[in-house]
Amino acid sequence: MNIKISSYYSKHLLKRLSVANKKKVKVPLTANLSLMSLSLVDFNNLASSCSEVEKDPLFVLRTSAKSLPPGHGILGLLVQSCNTLGEACRYGYKFQHLTRNGLHSRLSYQEGSVISTIAVENCDPQSIAFLVEYCQASLYAIANYLVEWSKPIKIKEIHFMHKALGPLSEYKRILDTDNIFFSQAENKIVFDREIMDFAIERADPGAKEALLQEAKVQLQSLNSLAKFEVKLRSLLANQAIFKALILSDCAMALNVSESTFKRRLLEEGTSYQAVLDDVRELKAKQLLEQTSDSIQQISEALDFSNRSAFARSFRNRTGLSPLQFRQSTNHIA
């Protein structure tokens, strides 16, 4: 499962940490902090570091539930311009791809309730615990922000697939509900159906139309640009035995000529080598974090010519040696 996250999430956490405590968190964020560029590994490193510095295992949940800023790019402006919370949800879920990729929510209705469920495919619940808590608590905060807390929105139930990251009493206090359940079959949050009719205080029909058109343009651009790169990324990442494929092999696997292969990647602002380096880095981090394999074994698994080449490449991209990265993640855990 390839998850990428808008830099909004990381900037939000860093901003709140800075505003609240004037502290700096040093995290090896290797991704380019632009739209749809932050990996799940980097987000987890950031969230873990924030929690560690604050000595608060629920820092991410607390931050997203109580201090959500009003801005959220074009999507945030669009939902604020809607007339009702139901309309805002309709657009918010439709354009959610602008803020994260690979972990999406769906809205459903059942017996007087409206339910937001995060779709999870072949993903270890604990590996996405920070992000799921961030997204669900943000939904709660966004809904209340849109109606300016004039008619507080209460959570009926909230279910998490992962195990609790902190005291249950704190979850209940932060989310203002006693109905919190862990190790469940779904990640879902349940509200009363009537909230969908709540009026949004800053509704602006004129601005909404312009913002809606811009959101459509951004989503279309994002989809068209990502399509070919995603195919290549999937091709490299899903090999039974990882190999740095040659250009002709990649082009053949994707049913295009070698010249078209290179041209399409260039049009999307990337290259085969850039995608290969990204995939290798992500796999390297996973192996360093999740296995006890030696550095030599990992370098061989990633098809580097030798251990030194792997270590040099990893340091150039992350600022850390493979051993330093492993020690830092073990320390955070």
> Above 60 in pLDDT, residue 225?
no
Q: How confident is the model at residue 263 (pLDDT cuts 50, 70, 90)?
A: confident
For domain 4-203, the question of CATH label 3.90.1520 is answered with yes
Q: What is the mean pLDDT of residues 171-175?
A: 97
> Above 60 in pLDDT, residue 30?
no
Q: What is the mean pLDDT of residues 144-159?
A: 87
Under a CB-based contact definition with an 8 Å cutoff, are residues 5 and 31 in contact?
A: no
Whole-number pLDDT of residue 121: 64
How large a percentage of the chain has pLDDT more than 90?
Answer: 39
Q: Which two tokens stand for residue 115?
A: 């339910």
Q: Which two tokens stand for residue 82?
A: 């809607």
Q: What is the mean pLDDT of residues 162-173?
A: 97
Which of 192-196, 290-294, 324-328 is predicted least confidently? 324-328
Q: What is the mean pLDDT of residues 57-65?
A: 92
Which of 12-16, 29-33, 66-70, 295-299 is predicted least confidently? 29-33
Whole-number pLDDT of residue 4: 67
Using only C-alpha atoms, what is the Rg of the chain?
21
Q: How confident is the model at residue 33 (pLDDT cuts 50, 70, 90)?
A: very low
Contacts of 147 (CB under 8 A, 6+ apart): 85, 153, 198, 199, 200, 201
pTM of the model: 0.66
> Above 80 in pLDDT, residue 118?
yes
Whole-number pLDDT of residue 169: 97
Q: Which two tokens stand for residue 204?
A: 């602006």
Q: Which two tokens stand for residue 3?
A: 């998850």
Higher-confidence residue of 33 and 247: namely 247
Q: What is the mean pLDDT of residues 17-26?
A: 64
Higher-confidence residue of 183 and 269: namely 183
For the chain, which residues make up each domain, given as ranges?
Answer: 4-203, 226-332
DSSP tag of 194: G
Backbone angles phi, psi at 82, to 5 degrees: -75, 165
CATH architecture for segment(s) 226-332: Orthogonal Bundle (1.10)
Domains 4-203 and 226-332 share a fold: no
| Closest C-alpha among 160, 98, 134, 132 to residue 10 | 134
> In this structure, how many other beta carbons lie within 10 angstroms of the beta carbon of residue 223?
11
Q: What is the mean pLDDT of residues 115-133?
A: 87
Most confident of 27-36, 120-129, 293-302: 293-302
Q: How confident is the model at residue 267 (pLDDT cuts 50, 70, 90)?
A: confident
Higher-confidence residue of 270 and 71: namely 270
> In this structure, how many other beta carbons lie within 10 angstroms of the beta carbon of residue 132?
22
The string of pLDDT tens digits covering residues 79-94 is 999 999 999 999 998 8
| Closest C-alpha among 98, 146, 96 to residue 117 | 96
DSSP tag of 84: B
C-alpha 14/C-alpha 306 separation (Å) is 37
Higher-confidence residue of 212 and 240: namely 212
